[in-house]
Each structure stands twice: as structure tokens, then as C-alpha cells.
A and B are shown apart, each in its own frame.
Chain A
Amino acid sequence: MTIMFLIGTAVCALSTLTCWVMTAVRNHPADSSIISIAAIELYLIAYGIYAVIRQAMGASITGEAWEFWGYVLTALLLPVGVFIWAMVDKTRWTNLVMSFVGLVVFVMVYRLEEIWWGSAL
């Protein structure tokens, strides 16, 4: 288990929890929900930069490079796509829609770690 994976797990878990709480207490998109998925996006950018630097310096990954970068790109687009979709209708449920980002990104980071190191745990 890498530090990056631990940070990612924490960021995703906090984001999803924040969005769930906000679903209960706000009937409009909460600033904290939006900031929490922005934090996930920032984390993914950092993860991507880390991977670029490490692989540019000659380190290899266990799995396929194509699959790895496919996951990174899809993960980077996810918070943006979900945010745009969530803002179509600004209700309580916008927060719940945004809570999906943390869940899905966690799974994607788990897969990324498997591709990168051979195992996430």
C-alpha cells in the first residue's frame, strides 16, 4: 500500500461523507460538496503528475501503460463530468449525485494501484 493510495482513500472517503451529510442538511448544492469533489480532482492531478515524473525517469509499471493512462484520463474527467451533470438541477439530490465521485474514483485508484504496482494492498 502506497502513501498515494492512502491519501486517495482518505480524500475520496471524506468527499463522499461530506456529500452524504450535505444531502441530509441542504436542499441545494453545498459549497462543501463542490469543494470536496474539487479536492478529488486536485488529488488526481497530483497522482497523474507523480506517475508522469516517475515513468519519465524510467520506472516501469506492472500492467499495461495504455490501460493505466486510460484510467488516469477517465478519472480526471469524472469529477468534471459529474459536476456539470449535477448542476443541471440544483436540489438536495445534487449533493448525492456528487457523492458518486468519491466512490468511483476510489475504485479507479484501487485499479490504478494494481496496474502500477501489481497490487493495491
Chain B
Amino acid sequence: MGKRTVSRGRNHDAAGFSAAAPGTSVPTPRNRGVGMLIITAYGIFAVSAFARAFYQITPFPQEDKVQFADAPLALSLSAFAAAVYILATLALARTSATAWRIALAAVLVEMAGVIGVGTWTLVQPSAFEVATVWGFFGRDYGFIPLILPFLGLFWLLRHRPSETVSAED
């Protein structure tokens, strides 16, 4: 990869934002450009929430590991969060109108989940002696889970299916 030849000069500068502008000849699909960042963030959370739920729920025979029966609520919520992130990642990465609706639903469920579970852990901390992914608004993850659904929603609303229809294969 010695010589840098840029074959995609057309696509430079703020590629991700051009899709919202009406009259643009070839809008950037929502899973390209800046959209790739949002999908990457969702993918990272899908992997880490899944790994956490998997580790928490799998009954590894260790003395000091919390088992599922000890904290069914917190562990179920971790698993639910993981499922929502996986669904959102897959739906965001696809360009069809159906995927857009699934992604919108997943992002809204995620938003309700992180706000709901976050509030719940504040109001009734005794029910959450074991940490869950969305506990305290995603504090364990630098509050990124609280920001992510808003970014996702913003991105989806900026890229409605009718606008990206021409970009579908």
C-alpha cells in the first residue's frame, strides 16, 4: 500500500452528512460514512453486553461468582440489554426499509431500557446488588449507553428509508 491513490474523491468531506440534503445525486447510505461509527459503537456494546451477560449467567463453578439464582433480575436485564444491542447493530447495518423500522424499534426500546433501568437502580438500589449493564444509566460503561440511543435515533431520523431508497442494491 505504498502509493496513495484516492479513487473516491467524490466522496470526501462530511460524506456521512450529505444524505440529509435533498437533491443530492447519490446520498450516502445510512450504514456508511459517519453511520459506520454508530454501528461500530453499537457492535462494541453488543459484544461487551453479550460477554457480560454470558459470563454472569453461565454457571461457572466458582465460589465467589454470583449465580443466576442469586440475582435473576439484574442478570436477566443484562441479557435483555445484550439482545437489544445485537438486534440494533444488525438492523442499523442493513439498508432496507424493514431494517430501518426494526432499528428504530430497537433504539427506542434501548432508550426506554437505559432510562427505565437507570431510574429503577436509583430508586430501589436494594434490588440491584449485582450490577447490570443499564444500571445507573450505564455508569459502568462511562454513561455511553445513555448517549448511544440518542445518537442512534438522530441518525435514523436523518436517514429515513424513503431518502435512502435509491442507495439500495
Contacts and interface: CB of A to CB of B under 8 A. Distances in A.
Interface residues of B, number: 27
A84 to B, nearest CB: 11
Interface in A86-121: 86, 88-94, 96-97, 100, 104
B37 A91 contact: no
Contacts of A39: none
Interface in B31-50: 32-34, 36-37, 39-41, 43-44, 47-48
B1 A31 contact: yes
A27 B6 contact: yes
Nearest to B62: A64
Given A27-B6, A64-B60, A93 B36 contact: yes
Nearest to B60: A66
Interface in B7-23: 8-9, 11-13, 15-16
Contact of B36 (A27, A67, A81, A86): A86
Interface in A9-25: none
Nearest to B64: A64
A5 B122 CA distance: 33
**Number of contact residues on A: which range applies?**
20 to 34
Interface in B106-137: none
A66 B62 contact: yes
Contacts of A81: 43
A88 B44 CA distance: 17
Interface of B: 1, 4, 6, 8-9, 11-13, 15-16, 32-34, 36-37, 39-41, 43-44, 47-48, 51, 55, 60, 62, 65
21 contacts: A27-B13, A28-B4, A28-B6, A64-B65, A67-B55, A70-B55, A74-B47, A78-B44, A78-B47, A85-B40, A91-B11, A91-B15, A91-B33, A93-B33, A93-B34, A93-B36, A93-B37, A97-B37, A97-B40, A100-B40, A100-B44
Interface of A: 27-28, 31, 64, 66-67, 70, 74, 78, 81-82, 85-86, 88-94, 96-97, 100, 104
